[in-house]
Structure 1
Amino acid sequence: MVIEFLKFKVDPNLRENYIQKDAEIWTAALAEYPGFLGKEVWINPDDPTEVIFLIRWTTLELLQAIPTSDAEKIEQRFAQAVGHTHELVQSGVYQVQELSQSA
């Protein structure tokens, strides 16, 4: 499994709408692609501008198989819905390492 990590700075007054529109547009669209396992939204209680998305994928290859043109169209729909209320401040993809339990 891989984790796509996305950290955004969002206007705190618009945060709830931003999260709702993300679920309606981005999460719904990603759910249509093979390999999508789910998404978590993390809110920082000490920084109301910080929103983190953790998106789980079965493999890196399936994440990377999403056509760039599809992602651009989804982002255009999202930007129309929320405007310029957010800024991507950090992103990365991480491999989940399973730990073995010794008896």
Structure 2
Amino acid sequence: MIIEFLKFQVAAGMEASFIEKDAEIWTTALAKYPGFLGKEVWINPHDSTEIICIMRWATKEQWQAIPPSELEVIEQEFNAALGNSYKLVESNEYQVQLNQN
């Protein structure tokens, strides 16, 4: 399993809108692709303007198979809904290593 890790800085007062539109636009779109296993949204309890999105993918190949043109359309829709109220500040990927007990 691959974890897609995205950290956002969201304008104060826009946190609820960001989370709502993220679920409505991004999560709905990603759920249609093979290999998408789910998503979590984490909010920093000490700074509510810091939001982390964790997407779980079955394989890196399935995640990377999403056409960039389709991602651009989704991003444009998200930007249209939220404007300049957020900024992506970190993007990483992690591989889940299961313990072999």
Give TM class, smaller chain: over 0.9
CA distance in 1: counterparts of 2:94 and 2:60, whole angstroms: 9
Deviant stretches of 4+, over 3 Å: none
Query: What does residue 73 of structure 2 align with?
Result: 73
Letter in 2 for 1:16: A
**Which structure has more strand as a fraction of its residues?**
2
SS class of match (1:13): coil
Shift of 1:49: 1.2
Q: Greater Rg, structure 1 or structure 2? A: 1
SS class of match (1:99): coil
Query: What does residue 93 of structure 1 align with?
Result: 93
CA distance in 1: counterparts of 2:12 and 2:96, whole angstroms: 31
CA distance in 2: counterparts of 1:48 and 1:17, whole angstroms: 12
- What is the Cα-based RMSD across aligned positions, in Å? 0.5
Identity score, percent: 58
SS class of match (1:53): strand
Q: TM-score, normalised by structure 1?
A: 0.96
Shift of 1:47: 1.1
Query: What does residue 42 of structure 1 align with?
Result: 42
Shift of 1:12: 2.4
CA distance in 1: counterparts of 2:31 and 2:96, whole angstroms: 20
Q: TM-score, normalised by structure 2?
A: 0.98
CA distance in 2: counterparts of 1:12 and 1:43, whole angstroms: 13
Letter in 1 for 2:39: K
Structure 2: gaps spanning 5 or more residues: none
Structure 1: gaps spanning 5 or more residues: none
Query: What does residue 21 of structure 1 align with?
Result: 21
